[in-house]
Amino acid sequence: MATTSPPRLFLTVDVEEWFASKELVRVGDDSGLRAASDIAETTSHILDSFARAGFVGTFFLLLDIARRHPELVERMTREGHEVALHGETHEHLSRVGDADFAAMLGRSRGFFQDRFGVRLQGYRAPYFSIDEPKLARLKTAGFSYDSSVFPCLPIPGWYGSWRAPLTPYRIGRRLHEIEPQGAFMEFPLSVHPALRLPGLGGYYFRNLGLGWSLRVMKGCLTRLGYAMFYLHPWELSDRLPADAGLPFYMRRRAGAWARESLDRLLAAARAVPGLKNSTVFEHCRQMSAGKA
């Protein structure tokens, strides 16, 4: 198992609204929900928390959010964060054709370049639903890395590449394969290093408790030298509707609890001796240059 030193923490945010997850919530016309959305406030809150803790993050954005809230993208780039891609829509990739996926990547790169002067380097699939044909498209579309492989025990119907490496690797044709000479990198999500159970992300953070997340984070940092945290802005919202068909695990502890726990988790990370933090692409670039 690859070990990097010093311990490195990557903070990632999948910038989407709760009602983008149509696989999990049943909403029809979402125009009213968009109008009432508090994503600008919740995303700004995350940016404020990162700034207070002295960390930078990588923000995987849906195109729709970047179009509606250019001020957020501008703030992210101004404050040294990385802007990366979460897709044009939040469709599960099993429902997206390979050619449509390639066209979406091209449109997205063009949009971020033209509108913000941002060259997209990283991608995360909605629902971590990356598959091998889509990975191949990503490699030829000008991206430098993917961050969609969840190397946990399989969660039936969802994800789980239990044979995949737990630390960044040069990903081959198959999701768990290392291609030693490859240039394209994978930055997997973090799981408990021995048990391969998820724990360092929004859903797990709120549903399994902060203690579990802290344990996974510290285990990953000390044993692997690598931890990848992820969160969604809506998890900090105290305005998630109770009557919109949101499953309990989406609403649970959203809002004040999640805000406070995020700050506690960042403070705990801050206390890890020798901790390094950068955007994902910055580390990808250093690894490619043989400097990390």
- Contacts with Zn ion by CB under 5 A lie at 14, 16, 126
Cβ proximity to Zn ion, 57 vs 126, nearer residue: 126
In angstroms, what is the minimal distance from the CB of 90 to Zn ion? 6
Cβ proximity to Zn ion, 16 vs 146, nearer residue: 16
In angstroms, what is the minimal distance from the CB of 156 to Zn ion? 19
In angstroms, what is the minimal distance from the CB of 276 to Zn ion? 26
- Residue 198: both structure tokens together: 């998820």
In angstroms, what is the minimal distance from the CB of 63 to Zn ion? 13
- The Cα–Cα gap between 56 and 8 comes to 12
Cβ proximity to Zn ion, 14 vs 64, nearer residue: 14
DSSP alpha helix (H) spans, the chain? 31-35, 39-53, 63-68, 70-78, 98-116, 132-140, 202-208, 210-223, 248-251, 256-270, 280-288
Residue 1 to residues 96, 107, 169, 278: CA-CA distances in angstroms? 34, 37, 11, 22
- The Cα–Cα gap between 191 and 121 comes to 24
DSSP string, 124-169: --GGG---HHHHHHHHHTT--EE-----SSP-TTS---TTS-SS-E
Question: Residue number with the shortest CB distance to Zn ion?
Answer: 14
- Residue 136: both structure tokens together: 């191949």
In angstroms, what is the minimal distance from the CB of 89 to Zn ion? 10
Residue type, 179: E
In angstroms, what is the minimal distance from the CB of 47 to Zn ion? 18
Cβ proximity to Zn ion, 6 vs 247, nearer residue: 247
3 state SS of 188:
coil
- Residue 25: both structure tokens together: 């919530």
3 state SS of 97:
coil
Cβ proximity to Zn ion, 249 vs 264, nearer residue: 249
Cβ proximity to Zn ion, 202 vs 219, nearer residue: 202
